[in-house]
Amino acid sequence: MRNSGSSLPVIILAALNDVEDRIAGLDVGSNDYLTKPFDLKEVYVRIRAMIKRTNDRTERLIDYQDILLNSVAHTVTKAGKIIDIPRCKYSVFLKLFENIGSVLSRSQLEEELYSMGGSICSNTVEVYIHHLRKKLGKKLIRTIRGVGYIIDKQGY
Q: What is the pLDDT of residue 50?
A: 81
Does the model's pTM come out above 0.75? no
Q: What is the pLDDT of residue 121?
A: 72
Helices (H), the chain: 19-27, 40-56, 87-98, 106-113, 124-136
CA torsion sign for 10, 122, 137, 64 is: positive
Q: What is the pLDDT of residue 116?
A: 37
Q: What is the pLDDT of residues 4-37, one digit of tens each?
A: 666 778 889 999 988 888 888 888 888 888 999 9
CA torsion sign for 103, 109, 110, 111 is: positive
- What are the residue boundaries of the structural domains of the chain, listed by start? 2-150
Q: What is the pLDDT of residue 142?
A: 94
Cα–Cα dist 29/11, whole Å:
10
Please give the mean pLDDT across all residues of the chain.
84
Q: Please identify every stretch of the chain with a pLDDT value under 50, giving residue numbers as ranges.
A: 116-117
> Helices 124-136 and 106-113 meet at what angle, rounded to 10?
90
Residue 104 carries which DSSP code?
A: B
Q: What is the CATH number of domain 2-150?
A: 1.10.10.10
Q: What is the pLDDT of residue 61?
A: 79
Q: What is the pLDDT of residue 154?
A: 76
Q: What is the pLDDT of residue 104?
A: 93
